Amino acid sequence: MPSYKIARVTEDMHRELTAILREIKDPRVTGCMLSIVRVEVTNDLSYCTVYVSTVEGMERIKTAVQGLKSAAGFIRREAGRRLDLRHVPELIFKPTDSIEYGAHISRLIDDLDLPPQTDGEPEE
């Protein structure tokens, strides 16, 4: 199977899963700002690994992943209906702390006391 098809399906799955997450009514999922960081689809389209993250910490992400796992059937059905795939991959949700880590790095950079840079012109 050509790699462009896998890339297209991965991109489409990411877009549709993001839209479907807004429709889930599980309080474990709706109570936080959940974000899909990365989607990986296997070459035979049998599995789709979805990495999710939030700013609120790893414990909150793990709770949200439990809610997503319980709603996996609904999410898979909706993705299949929207994407019109012959075989919809099985969804595997994994928590990641990449957003929290990025926010931490940003705070560290903001806390640095760096002197302001000039435009390259010597001061007089």
Weakest mean pLDDT among 26-30, 45-49, 60-64, 96-100: 96-100
- Decide if 119 is inside a domain: no
- Other CB atoms within a 10 A radius of the CB of residue 17 amount to 22
- Decide if 116 is inside a domain: no
Whether the CB-CB separation of 17 and 35 falls below 8 Å is answered with no
Which residues are CB-neighbours of 117 under 8 A, at least 6 positions away? Answer: none
- Decide if 120 is inside a domain: no
pLDDT interval class at 2 (50, 70, 90): low
- Decide if 124 is inside a domain: no
CATH for 8: 3.30.300.20
Q: What is the pLDDT of residue 18?
A: 92
- Decide if 69 is inside a domain: yes
Domain that holds residue 56: 3-110
- Cα Dmax for the chain: 71
- Decide if 115 is inside a domain: no
- Decide if 118 is inside a domain: no
- Decide if 122 is inside a domain: no
In the chain, how many domains are there?
Answer: 1
pLDDT tens track for 15-40: 999 999 988 888 888 878 888 999 99
Q: How far apart are the C-alpha atoms of 102 and 42, rounded to whole Å?
A: 27
pLDDT interval class at 113 (50, 70, 90): confident
pLDDT tens track for 68-105: 999 999 999 999 999 988 889 999 999 988 877 787 88
